[in-house]
């Protein structure tokens, strides 16, 4: 197997180009769509091997491939599962380590840690 080695990508239609470092550094390094109620399960994911249910609305996720350092950016959203039910997640706690993280999903209107039918997370940062 051989490696591809290129530093810029160019659009042949308009001549615009983009350094590959933007593509590599600017993409999500991990994400998951999680069933956050009942039996907690990962519906689909990239670089997340699993999620642990630590209690109501309290989840720990584990990376398949570790991050370079714990200074990654974590973002989350949640939804009710009903059409139009997606809204922002309030993350009350996040413990970030190179092998994963832990967070609580909070209902913003009542500031209550809650299980949600849909919990989505995304991580930006550098892989080890």
Tell me the CB-side half-sphere exposure of residue 110, using CA atoms within 13 A. 5
Residue 36 has pLDDT above 60, yes or no: yes
Report percent pLDDT > 90 for the chain.
41
Q: Which class for 75: exposed (0-12), middle (13-18), buried (19 or more C-beta within 10 A)?
A: middle
Domain segments of the chain as ranges:
29-124
Residue 87 has pLDDT above 70, yes or no: no
Computed over its alpha carbons, how large is the radius of gyration of the chain?
17
Q: Is the Cβ–Cβ distance between 106 and 91 less than 8 Å?
A: yes
Domain 29-124 - what CATH class? Answer: mainly beta
Specify the range with the lowest mean pLDDT, choosing from 54-63, 85-94, 116-125.
85-94
What is the pTM assigned to this prediction?
0.78
**Neighbour count for residue 92 (Cβ, 10 Å):** 14
Measuring CA to CA, which residue among 67, 75, 57 is closest to residue 112?
57
Enumerate the β-bridge partners of residue 114. Answer: none
Q: Buried (b) or exposed (e) across 113-128, using 16+ Cβ within 10 A?
A: bbbbebbbbebbbebe
Confidence at residue 85, expressed as pLDDT on a 0 to 100 scale: 55
């Amino acid at each position: 197997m051989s490696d591809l080695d290129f530093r810029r990508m160019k659009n042949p239609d308009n001549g615009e180009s983009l350094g590959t470092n933007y593509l590599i550094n600017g993409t999500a390094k991990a994400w998951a769509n999680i069933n956050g109620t009942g039996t907690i399960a990962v519906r689909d994911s990239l670089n997340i091997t699993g999620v642990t249910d630590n209690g109501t609305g309290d989840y720990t996720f584990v990376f398949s491939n570790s991050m370079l350092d714990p200074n990654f950016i974590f973002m989350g959203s949640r939804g009710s599962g009903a059409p139009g039910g997606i809204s922002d997640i309030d993350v009350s706690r996040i413990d970030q380590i190179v092998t994963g993280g832990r967070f609580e999903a909070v209902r913003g209107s009542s500031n209550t840690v809650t299980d949600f039918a849909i919990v989505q997370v995304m991580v930006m940062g550098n892989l080890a």
